[in-house]
Chain A
Amino acid sequence: MLAASAAALPVLLAASGCRSADAFAGPDPLAGPPSPAPDVLTLQAVIAAEQALIRLYQAAIGTSTRATVQEHGLEALLAQHQSHLTRLRSRLILPAPTPSASASPAATASGTPAAVGIAQLRAAEGASAASLLRRLATVQPGLAQLFASIAASDATHAMVLGG
Chain B
Amino acid sequence: MMALVAPVSALQDALAAENAAIFGYGVAGAHLTGTGQAAAEQDWTGHSEARDQLVTMIARLGAAPVAARAFYQLPFAVHDAASARDLAAYLEDGVTRAYLGLVAVSDQQLRGFGALAMQGSAERAAFWRGSTQAFPGLQGS
Contact = CB atoms under 8 A, between A and B. Distances in A.
Interface of A: 73, 76-77, 79-80, 83-84, 87, 129, 133, 136-137, 140-142, 144-153, 155-157, 159-160
A142 B104 contact: yes
Interface residues of B, number: 33
A149 B119 contact: no
Contact of A150 (B1, B125, B135): B135
Q: Which 10 A-B pairs have the closest CB atoms?
A: A142-B2, A141-B104, A152-B122, A148-B115, A80-B134, A155-B119, A137-B108, A156-B126, A156-B132, A83-B134
B108 A152 contact: no
A137 B105 CA distance: 10
13 contacts: A136-B108, A136-B115, A137-B111, A141-B105, A146-B138, A149-B135, A149-B141, A150-B135, A151-B115, A153-B132, A153-B134, A153-B136, A155-B119
A145 B104 contact: yes
B111 A156 contact: no
A32 to B, nearest CB: 26
B96 interface: yes
Q: For the complex, would chain A's binding face be called helix, strand, loop or mixed by DSSP majority?
A: helix
B83 to A, nearest CB: 22
B104 A144 contact: yes
Contact of A152 (B1, B112, B127, B136): B136
Contact of A145 (B3, B123, B125, B138): B138
Interface of B: 1-5, 96, 100, 103-105, 108, 111-112, 114-116, 118-119, 121-123, 125-127, 131-138, 141
Contacts of B122: 152-153, 155-156
Contacts, number: 100
A90 to B, nearest CB: 12
Given A141-B103, A145-B2, A151-B118, 19 more contacts: A73-B131, A84-B135, A87-B135, A133-B115, A136-B112, A137-B108, A141-B4, A141-B105, A144-B115, A148-B115, A149-B136, A152-B115, A152-B136, A153-B122, A153-B135, A155-B122, A156-B122, A156-B123, A160-B126
Given A136-B112, A136-B115, A140-B2, A152 B104 contact: no
